[in-house]
Amino acid sequence: MIAPLADNVCAIIPAHEEERFIAEVVRAVRAHVEKVIVVDDHSQDNTGLAAATAGAAVIRHPQRLGKGAAIKTGLRRAAAENYEYFLFLDGDGQHDPSEIPKFVDKVSQSKTDLVVGNRMNNPATMPWIRRLTNRFMSWQIGNLCRCELPDSQCGYRMASRCLLPVLLQSSDGFAFETECLLLAARNGHSIDFVPIRTIYRAEQSKIRPARDTFGYFQVLSKHLVQGAPAERPQSLPFEGTELSDQG
C-alpha cells in the first residue's frame, strides 16, 4: 500500500452556496495537499469563483444533484488523475483543515482503507439534537456493520483508492456517508476513526430534515434486506462543467 503524501492525496469538497467560507477552506486545505477539487452543486452565488480564485479546480453541476453526487463527480476527476487517496471535507468551515495530518498519519500507520473523523469524543459544541441523532444513527449503522462506529455521520474522511467502487455506489444525497460505511463494512474494508473538533456556526444547515431523513431510512432498509456484498458498479460518466483548474 502506497503511503499518503501531499502529492498523492486529492481533497474533494462538495459545496452548495458556500461563497462566504469556501475560499478560506480551500487555502487552508492547500497547505496540506497539492490538489483540491471543489464541486459546485449548482450554487446561485459565487461559490465556484471564490474556490477557483483560492486555487481549487472547480467543477460545476448544471443542476443540483446532491452532496453524494457532488462527491462522486470529484472522485471521478481525482481517479482519472491517478490519485491514491481521497480526502473529503465540507466547504462551510465546520471541518478544521489543520487536522488533515491526523488522517494522513492514521492511514500511514495502520494502512486503513477508510478513516472517519470522530466528533463524539468531545461533543460539547455540537447542538444537542445532532448529538442525540448521531448517537442513535451510529448505533443502528454499527449494528448493521457489526462493528463499533462512534461517529457515522461525519463527512470529514480519508479513503484509499481501493474503496473507489464502494464510494461510487453510495447515495447521491446526504445519506452518502451512511451508505459508504455500510458498503465498506460489507465488502471487508477496514474502517478506523480519528478524533476531531467541529466548528458550528450560526448558518442554517444544508440538511433538509424530511427529505434527508427519508433518504437515510431508505438506505438503511435497503441494507437490512441485503445480505450478500454489493456488485461492483460499472464505470460512470463524468458529470459537470469544469470552470477552472488552478490546483
> pLDDT tens across 147-174, in order?
788 888 899 999 999 999 999 999 898 8
Residue 201 lies in a domain: yes
Residue 38 lies in a domain: yes
What are 1-24's pLDDT values in tens digits?
677 877 899 999 999 999 999 999
Residue 236 has pLDDT above 60, yes or no: no
Q: Supply 32's cell numbers.
A: 496540506
- Residue 203's pLDDT is 55
Residue 146 lies in a domain: yes
Q: List the domain range (segments joined by +) for residue 166.
A: 9-225
What are 179-234's pLDDT values in tens digits?
999 999 989 999 999 999 878 765 555 555 455 566 666 666 666 656 434 444 44
Calculate mean pLDDT across residues 126-141: 72
Query: How are beta strands 157-160 and 114-118 bridged, if at all?
Result: antiparallel
Beta strands in the chain (DSSP E): 9-15, 35-40, 57-60, 85-88, 114-118, 157-160, 191-195, 241-245
Backbone region of residue 188 per phi and psi (left: phi > 0; alpha: psi in -120 to 50; beta: other values): left
pTM score over 0.75: yes
Residue 190 contacts residue 113 (beta carbons within 8 Å): yes
- Residue 219's pLDDT is 66
- Residue 188's pLDDT is 94
Residue 27 lies in a domain: yes
Residue 122 has pLDDT above 80, yes or no: no
- Residue 199's pLDDT is 81
- Mean pLDDT across the chain, nearest whole number? 84
- Residue 136's pLDDT is 75
Closest C-alpha to 170, from 236, 117, 96, 225: 236
Residue 204 lies in a domain: yes
- Residue 247's pLDDT is 44
For the chain, the domain total comes to 1
Residue 239 contacts residue 70 (beta carbons within 8 Å): no
Residue 3 lies in a domain: no
Residue 232 lies in a domain: no
Q: Supply 126's cell numbers.
A: 455540537
Lowest mean pLDDT among 114-118, 125-129, 186-190: 125-129
CATH number of the domain at 50, please.
3.90.550.10
Q: How many alpha carbons lie under 13 Å from residue 102 in its C-beta half-sphere?
A: 17
Alpha-carbon distance 149 to 99, whole Å? 20
Residue 155 contacts residue 95 (beta carbons within 8 Å): yes
Residue 83 lies in a domain: yes
Give percent above pLDDT 90 in the chain: 58
